[in-house]
Amino acid sequence: MSIMGRKSSGFTLIELMIVVAIIGILAAIAIPKFSNLIRKSQEGAGKGNLGSVRSALSIYYGDMEGVYPTELESLTVAGKYLSALPQAKTPPHHTDNSGVADGAATVTEAAPAGGWFYNSVVADANFGTVLVNCTHTDTKNSIWTFY
């Protein structure tokens, strides 16, 4: 039997190089999209945590017959409203933390370093307002303090 009559089974080098090139192109497209999805999910968690804090504040306000706490940490006493303050997630601008900056100043006047901002001044018209302590924007170009 001659070598020419033998049927080859397998892939040629060109076919393998084409497949590797196609996989490389798909990976170059998929990896940035995947990392963007991770950031969006972390932002969603941060917005959900803000909703949890605001809900706990509303329940506290109702229980105390129209009085907000003077400290946001009051929501965690005995775990009645929150077992712990959730973390404010503002990827990639600040590390996740549950710290609270409080006072009458707005977030733009304070040093926005992540965490929460709580207006604890009773005489202020915005007393009881809680915001994310960050002036950066999310993936939709909305400033975090606007939530």
* pLDDT tens digits for range 36-77: 888 899 999 999 999 999 999 999 999 999 999 999 999 999
Report the pLDDT value the prediction gives residue 6, as an integer from 0 to 100.
65
Give the pLDDT confidence score for residue 124 in this predicted structure: 84
Q: How far is CA 111 from CA 38, 41, 56, 116, in A?
A: 27, 26, 25, 11
This prediction has a pTM of 0.76
d(CA 60, CA 81): 7
Give strand ranges (E) for the chain.
Answer: 100-102, 116-118, 130-132
Cβ atoms of residues 46 and 138 within 8 Å: no
Percentage of the chain modeled with pLDDT above 90: 52
CA 106 to CA 33: how far, in whole Å? 35
- In 3D, which of 47, 43, 25 has the Cα closest to residue 35? 43
Residue-wise pLDDT for 81-106, tens only, equals 999 999 999 888 889 989 888 876 66
